[in-house]
Amino acid sequence: METKVEALQDNKVKVTVTVDAKEVDNRIKKAYKDFANKYNFPGFRKGKAPRPIIDNALGAEAVPASVTDDIVNGCYPLAIDSCDLYPVGEPEFGEPALVEGGKPYEFSFEVECKPTCELSDYEPVEVKLPAEGASEAEIDQQIEALRDYYHEFENANANTKVKADSYADLKIAATDENGEDVSALSSESRMCLMGSGMFPAAFDEQVIGLKKGQTASFSVNVEDAKDATLMASLEGKTKTVNFEVEVLAVKKQVLPELTDEWVKDTLGFDDVADLRERVADSIKEQKEDVLPRMKENACLIELAKRLDVEAPAAVQEQTEAKLLQDFFSQLQNQG
């Protein structure tokens, strides 16, 4: 098999493949033998029908067409590999001619390939990466996250008003436009963080500024509140939700004091020094694992800035299709 590559426009190439006459004859001989074994021809035993009988029964072009398909389908991937091509789309063959006995067979196809890219600059790249090991600030940040995980709530002073970032214990009575209870929203006691998106902004606005024991009555349009976590399921069921809200208590978040006793009883370490040492080791191990990849990715991003090339249309279509399929699968998994 011989191949010849001709560069075309828009990252396309034309590949011409020539299969020698001996290979064509061998394939034709095998095809006739396969057909003779596959079909029953009256007057002849299985596998013994001569070529003229097969041609008369199946048509003179049956075997050449079969051999042509086998050659084209079998040889074009080999031609792509031998020419070191990197296709980004399916090849276009046109209408290949049929093979003929005793003659070499030639066919060609066009295919879009990855574009040839050149960097505008080959100087070393400069990237910024986190320092190796664990800094004191990083250790402190991890320990603060641990303390936050074990936080508790205490009641604030009775005169404390609900603020935009406050936690509040609320008694909520919610009804739809027909006066029916909305059980998903109603509660004798629900801890709420203002601005968290649990309830819509219109709800938060009515509660902010209230003190313990104070109440508020108001309505919220469901269409304007469908992004709120607790109200998304109400769309199409009611146009409005009527709220009766009472502030049972304004809450303040209290973090545990970082002491040797707390560290030992809660986290299982000997003392604060032991905790800091373990956290430092964990940060160091994480960095040793991710820093090489971070470095590689950062370098690739910088190198990409030195390329002036547009992704071929086929690559864009394939990428879009994959993104959509991944998103569809994600939605299916989430029900």
CA distance 299 to 248: 55
Q: Does any domain span residue 26?
A: yes
168 and 37 assigned to the same domain: no
Q: Does any domain span residue 335?
A: no
Structural contact between residues 191 and 250, judged by C-beta atoms closer than 8 angstroms: no
261-276 tens-digit pLDDT: 999 999 999 999 999 9
- The answer to whether residue 317 scores a pLDDT higher than 90 is no
Nearest to 169 by CA among 252, 253, 247: 247
Q: Does any domain span residue 291?
A: yes
Q: Which of 41-45, 296-300, 326-330 has the lowest mean pLDDT?
A: 41-45
206 and 231 assigned to the same domain: yes
211-258 tens-digit pLDDT: 999 999 999 999 888 788 888 888 889 999 999 999 999 999 999 999
31 and 177 assigned to the same domain: no
Rounded average pLDDT over 93-107: 91
Rounded average pLDDT over 135-143: 94
* Residue 300, both tokens: 């690739």
46 and 6 assigned to the same domain: yes
Higher pLDDT, 212 or 38: 212
62 and 105 assigned to the same domain: yes
Rounded average pLDDT over 279-296: 94
Q: Pick from 254, 286, 318: which residue ends a domain?
A: 254
- Largest Cα–Cα separation, the chain: 108
CA distance 153 to 63: 84
271 and 140 assigned to the same domain: yes
Side chain identity, residue 219:
S
91 and 207 assigned to the same domain: no
Rounded average pLDDT over 57-62: 91
- The answer to whether residue 117 scores a pLDDT higher than 90 is no
Domain coverage including residue 27: 2-112
135 and 266 assigned to the same domain: yes
Mention every residue, 6+ apart, whose C-beta is less than 8 A from residue 241.
174, 175, 176, 182, 185, 219, 220, 222, 225, 231, 234
- The answer to whether residue 318 scores a pLDDT higher than 90 is no
CA distance 217 to 172: 10
CA distance 308 to 305: 8
pLDDT of res. 42? 87
Tell me the pLDDT of the chain averaged across its residues: 92
Number of domains in the chain: 3
207 and 91 assigned to the same domain: no
Rounded average pLDDT over 26-51: 90
Q: Does any domain span residue 50?
A: yes
Rounded average pLDDT over 187-213: 94
What is each CA distance from 161 to 202, 248, 251, in whole angstroms? 17, 12, 10
Please, which pLDDT band fits residue 311 given cuts at 50, 70 and 90? confident
Q: Which of 35-44, 113-122, 161-170 has the highest mean pLDDT?
A: 161-170
Please, which pLDDT band fits residue 46 given cuts at 50, 70 and 90? confident
pLDDT of res. 264? 95
Q: Pick from 254, 269, 293: which residue ends a domain?
A: 254
Neighbours of 314 (CB within 10 A): 17
9 and 140 assigned to the same domain: no
Angle value at C-alpha 297, between 292 and 302, nearest 5 degrees: 125
> CATH number for the domain including 101?
3.30.70.1050
Side chain identity, residue 84:
D
* Residue 29, both tokens: 């001989």
CA distance 85 to 112: 9
* Residue 219, both tokens: 């309505």
Alpha helices, DSSP H only, in the chain? 21-38, 51-58, 62-82, 136-149, 201-207, 260-262, 272-304, 313-333
Is pTM beyond 0.75? Reply is no
CA distance 287 to 121: 30
13 and 79 assigned to the same domain: yes
158-174 tens-digit pLDDT: 999 999 989 999 999 99
287 and 262 assigned to the same domain: yes
* Residue 251, both tokens: 């809450």
